[in-house]
Amino acid sequence: MGRSAPTREPVHDGRYEPHDAAARRGIGGQRLCLNALFDPSGQCWFIPAGQPGPEPVTCPARPTLSVVTATEPVIRPAAPADLDAVAEIFTHYVRHTVITFEEIPPPAAAWHQRLDDLAAQELPFLVAESSGEVVGYAYAAPWRPKPAYRHTAENSIYLAPGRTGRGLGGTLLQALLTACTRTHLRQMIALIADTGTDASVALHRSLGFTDVGRLAAVGYKHGRWIDTVLMQRPLNSHTDQ
């Protein structure tokens, strides 16, 4: 590939090497090509199947040999076929948590309408897919319906039960912010229910959101009063009319 491999220490004694070296040794399907989002300048590494290895990085040029692809979640635009899974994820949070103030899960038809409405406004709706399964989603929706708010959006992000705590939320939110910078939006708002944990607030802070306010006891669900935390992050510096 015309470039030297970066110096990296083995992780848990796993052996690894650049894919060009693996290709010269004729190693194909027994090794894994690990790819990570948002790091297009990295080196692609192979590790023996079933053994530990380095943190995944993105390959700048695909090798010409057969490889087994790791099952890292893929972030992509939502499609109508994804919406039953999206509805199922959201239903869990409606019924069992106070993260959303919805009390009745919307039907799949409502999600189809939302996908169409956001597409018409050129706003992103993304899903995370792993092994053919939708394991999370995120979208940007208008913050308020009045026209002067048209450059401001609110983000929503939900992960399938059992998929939290693995970094997927940060990956989805970063992808959403990146997609929003290619739109007319200038500001992103996060309205977060104070559930007693700081996970969502900490996630947003790590990606540039700042606290701008708190609304006390504005929601009542599952027998408790709930505050909301208001956070904000700038996107683009231009102002479209």
Do 177 and 120 fall within a single domain? Answer: yes
Q: Over the stretch 55-106, which tens digit does the pLDDT of each residue have?
A: 444 444 433 333 334 468 999 999 999 999 999 999 999 999 999 999 999 9
- Split into its structural domains, the chain has a count of 2
The reported pLDDT for the residue numbered 17 is: 36
Q: Over the stretch 201-219, which tens digit does the pLDDT of each residue have?
A: 999 999 999 999 999 999 9
Identify the CA nearest to 70 among candidates 33, 38, 28. 33
Do 32 and 106 fall within a single domain? Answer: no
Of the residues 21, 49, 70, the one at which a domain ends: 70
CA atoms within 13 A on the CB side of 197: 7
Taking all residues of the chain, what is their mean pLDDT, rounded to a whole number?
Answer: 78
Q: Over the stretch 190-203, which tens digit does the pLDDT of each residue have?
A: 999 998 888 999 99
Report residue 228 as tokens.
């909301």
Residues near 107 by beta carbon (within 8 Å), at least 6 away in sequence: 87
Look at 64 and 116; give whichever has higher pLDDT.
116
Residue 240 is assigned to a structural domain of this protein: no
Report whether 210 contacts 192 (CB < 8 A). no
Q: Would you say residue 141 has pLDDT above 50?
A: yes
CB atoms within 10 A of CB 71: 12
The reported pLDDT for the residue numbered 197 is: 85
The reported pLDDT for the residue numbered 38 is: 30
Which residue type, as a one-letter code, is found at position 209? F
Angle in degrees, 0-180, between the axes of helices 199-206 and 168-180, rounded to the nearest 10: 50
Of the residues 23, 39, 70, the one at which a domain ends: 70
Do 152 and 126 fall within a single domain? Answer: yes
The reported pLDDT for the residue numbered 240 is: 53
Q: Would you say residue 179 has pLDDT above 90?
A: yes
Look at 28 and 191; give whichever has higher pLDDT.
191
Which residue type, as a one-letter code, is found at position 114? R
Identify the CA nearest to 79 among candidates 139, 122, 126. 126
Look at 83 and 44; give whichever has higher pLDDT.
83
Q: Would you say residue 182 has pLDDT above 90?
A: yes
Q: Domain of 39? A: 1-70
Report whether 43 contacts 7 (CB < 8 A). no
- The arithmetic mean of pLDDT across residues 30-42, rounded, is 33
- The arithmetic mean of pLDDT across residues 7-35, rounded, is 35
Q: Would you say residue 19 has pLDDT above 80?
A: no
Q: Would you say residue 37 has pLDDT above 90?
A: no
Do 92 and 123 fall within a single domain? Answer: yes
